[in-house]
């Protein structure tokens, strides 16, 4: 049995935009494939090039796709009613990027795809993300960290864009 300590860097940006406008900004920039079809298409792919084609068709302009979402606010509303803040957790990523990291650090599969949290607070709508490079740093793989930093850049660019502007 082994227990490791992992220090995490959290990237967060706050938007003055309305919650739904921020969510629409994310949705316009990431792929949102019908997930059952996507999984079936991945399973049916026979070669790396076929897999790449399936993934490239699923990702959006940010090179990321949504796998699933959890409406945390809906759960809060069961107790608090309409005064509950809206909160949405998106699990997003790119299977090809995940594959690159897992080749060097198998534990990267515990962290990818990533979580994006979009939640209302008194000072605005927060968009938060735990940086993959910080999660992989303890494993000491320069190759995995390089891929993780590129992923961090994609996610952080997505969050900044969604926080700053309306959906394209």
Domain extents in the chain: 10-30+66-164
The answer to whether residue 165 scores a pLDDT higher than 80 is no
Tell me the residue ranges of DSSP E strands in the chain.
10-15, 65-71, 87-93, 114-121, 124-130
User: What is the distance between the alpha carbons of residues 17 and 52, in angstroms, rounded to a whole number?
Assistant: 35
Rounded CA gap, 24 and 28, in Å?
A: 6
pTM comes to: 0.93
pLDDT tens digits, 111-153: 999 999 999 999 999 999 999 999 999 999 999 999 999 999 9
Percent of the chain with pLDDT over 70: 98
Take residue 166 and report the two structure tokens written for it: 């309306």
Mean pLDDT of the chain: 95
Separation between Cα atoms, residue 97 and residue 117, nearest integer Å: 20
Task: Name the pairing type of β-strands 87-93 and 65-71.
Answer: antiparallel
Band of the pLDDT at 161, cuts 50, 70, 90? very high
pLDDT tens string 31-84: 999 999 999 999 999 999 999 999 999 999 999 999 999 999 999 999 999 899
- Rounded to an integer, what distance in angstroms lies between the CA atom of residue 150 and that of residue 161? 17
Closest CA to 116 of 21, 1, 12, 45: 12
Residue 162 pLDDT greater than 80, yes or no: yes
Cα dihedral sign for 57, 102, 128, 68?
positive
Q: At what angle do helices 95-104 and 48-58 cross, to 10 degrees?
A: 130
CATH code for residues 10-30+66-164: 3.30.310.70
- pLDDT value of residue 166: 53
Which tokens go with 165?
């502007």
């Amino acid at each position: 049995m082994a227990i490791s300590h992992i220090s995490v860097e959290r990237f967060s940006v706050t938007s003055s935009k309305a919650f739904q406008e921020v969510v629409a900004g994310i949705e316009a920039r990431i792929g949102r494939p019908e997930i059952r079809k996507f999984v079936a298409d991945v399973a049916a792919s026979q070669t790396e090039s076929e897999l790449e084609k399936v993934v490239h068709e699923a990702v959006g302009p940010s090179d990321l796709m949504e796998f699933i979402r959890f409406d945390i606010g809906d759960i809060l509303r069961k107790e608090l009613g309409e005064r509950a803040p809206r909160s949405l957790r998106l699990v997003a990523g790119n299977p090809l990027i995940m594959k690159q990291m897992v080749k060097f650090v198998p534990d990267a599969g515990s962290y990818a795809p990533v979580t994006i949290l979009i939640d209302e607070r008194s000072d605005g709508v927060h968009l938060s993300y735990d940086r993959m490079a910080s999660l992989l740093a303890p494993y000491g793989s320069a190759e995995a960290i390089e891929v993780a930093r590129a992923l961090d850049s994609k996610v952080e660019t997505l969050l900044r864009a969604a926080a700053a502007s309306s959906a394209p």
